């Protein structure tokens, strides 16, 4: 299998879908002629024409509203919000219309739309190009929220998302676009060509939504993460010298709670890591779910590692970003705690 970056894997997924489904189409800011700000849609307008891949005005609410109408009338639109920080103008359309359409119409209409957007920090994007808004979508009944951590999953999850008959928010960790990142910003970059999950099949395949991946088996603690934090946690586990089990959730709605429960009941300890701010973050929901289902198996308090409750600071990127040192310290606290 060829090695691909996450950008190439996502482009391949879109190419496969446009080539196989005449109802699929792509639009958003700069996605047509320009190929997207990160080049995820590069070459698709040239290959499929301006009716299948085209640019939109700078109007996130308009982009999503148009996609909802298209989906209700039988098309399968894939739209790009250029940065997840700018998705909020579309929030009303996503919450009040896309997420509710099947229910409000008693199943007469549905909304098979996929909303792609790069998210997260680690690129010195500052407060307006670094945020992680996944929790505000996970809270909305009717929306699915997917976050890949590697090229293989990115392609398979995106194809699965596009083929869903309900709306999916597909958040792409932009720090992982060109290679895995373990949080050590002062070390040489690594490419996906050097990683086994950089090998991506050319054709069609899917990774089912709601299926977590056990990235590393262990017996001393369970670490739950998604997106860039999967690689940060993997580095932290190695540096802490702890035999921890690492689970990549891959999607937070639907959530593979069975895999989480099985792991925590085995290890008796749990550390939850995400890049978004801690207060109100999805880690709080994960913590509650683990406590409700694994209370009598827990041997220590659940630990959470997250971004701080501040705007994302450009000048203090690596103080805000949950790096391997913070994760390793949480792991050690968790393992050394006495029940």
Nearest-10 Cα torsion for 225, 227, 228, 231: 60
End-to-end CA distance of the chain: 47
- Is residue 136 within 8 A of residue 171, CB to CB? The reply is no
In whole angstroms, what is the distance from residue 277 CA to residue 85 CA?
14
Instruction: Taking each helix axis as running N to C, give the angle between helix 229-240 and helix 324-336, from 0 to 180 degrees, rounded to the nearest 10.
Output: 60
- Is residue 272 within 8 A of residue 226, CB to CB? The reply is no
Write out the E strands in 89-167.
Answer: 114-119, 144-146
List, in sequence order, the alpha helices (H) in 141-182. 151-162
In whole angstroms, what is the distance from residue 171 CA to residue 251 CA?
10
* Assigned token pair, 100: 């509710």
Residues 6+ positions from 22 with CB-CB distance below 8 Å: none
Nearest-10 Cα torsion for 148, 152, 158, 160: -110
| Closest to 253 in 3D by CA, of 146, 173, 165 | 146
- Is residue 12 within 8 A of residue 88, CB to CB? The reply is no
In whole angstroms, what is the distance from residue 177 CA to residue 42 CA?
14
Assign residue 302 a region: left if phi > 0, alpha if psi is -120 to 50, beta otherwise?
beta
Using omega within 30 degrees of 0 as the cis cutoff, is the peptide bond preceding 254 cis?
yes
Would you please indicate which residues are annotated as catalytic (active-site) residues?
A: 60, 129
Q: In which residue are the tokens 């549905």 written? A: 110
| Closest to 231 in 3D by CA, of 260, 194, 286, 201 | 194
């Amino acid at each position: 299998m060829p090695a691909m970056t996450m950008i190439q894997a996502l482009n391949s997924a879109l190419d496969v879908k446009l080539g196989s489904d005449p109802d699929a189409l792509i639009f958003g800011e700069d996605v047509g002629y320009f190929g997207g700000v990160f080049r995820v849609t590069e070459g698709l307008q040239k290959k499929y024409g301006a009716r299948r891949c085209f640019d939109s005005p700078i109007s996130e609410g308009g982009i999503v509203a148009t996609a909802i109408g298209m989906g209700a009338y039988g098309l399968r639109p894939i739209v790009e919000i250029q940065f997840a920080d700018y998705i909020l103008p579309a929030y009303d359309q996503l919450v009040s219309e896309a997420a509710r359409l099947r229910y409000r119409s008693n199943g007469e209409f549905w909304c098979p739309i996929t909303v792609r957007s790069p998210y997260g920090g680690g690129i010195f994007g500052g407060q307006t190009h670094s945020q992680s808004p996944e929790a505000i979508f996970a809270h909305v009944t009717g929306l699915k929220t997917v976050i890949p951590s590697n090229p293989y999953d990115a392609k398979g999850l995106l194809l699965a998302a596009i083929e869903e008959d309900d709306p999916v928010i597909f958040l792409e960790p932009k720090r992982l676009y060109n290679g895995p990142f373990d949080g050590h910003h002062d070390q040489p970059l690594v490419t996906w060509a050097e990683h086994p999950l950089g090998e991506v099949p050319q054709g069609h395949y899917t990774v089912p939504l709601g299926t977590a991946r056990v990235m590393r088996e262990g017996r001393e603690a369970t670490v739950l993460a998604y997106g860039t934090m999967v690689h940060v946690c993997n580095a932290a586990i190695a540096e802490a010298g702890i035999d921890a089990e690492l689970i990549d959730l891959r999607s937070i709605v639907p959530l593979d709670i069975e895999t989480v429960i099985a792991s925590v009941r085995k290890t008796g300890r749990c550390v939850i890591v995400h890049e978004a701010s801690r207060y109100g973050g999805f880690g709080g929901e994960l913590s509650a779910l683990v406590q409700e289902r694994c209370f009598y198996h827990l041997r220590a308090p659940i630990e959470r590692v997250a971004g701080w409750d501040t705007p994302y600071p450009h000048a203090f990127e690596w103080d805000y970003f949950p790096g391997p040192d913070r994760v390793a310290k949480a792991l050690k606290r968790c393992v050394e705690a006495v029940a």
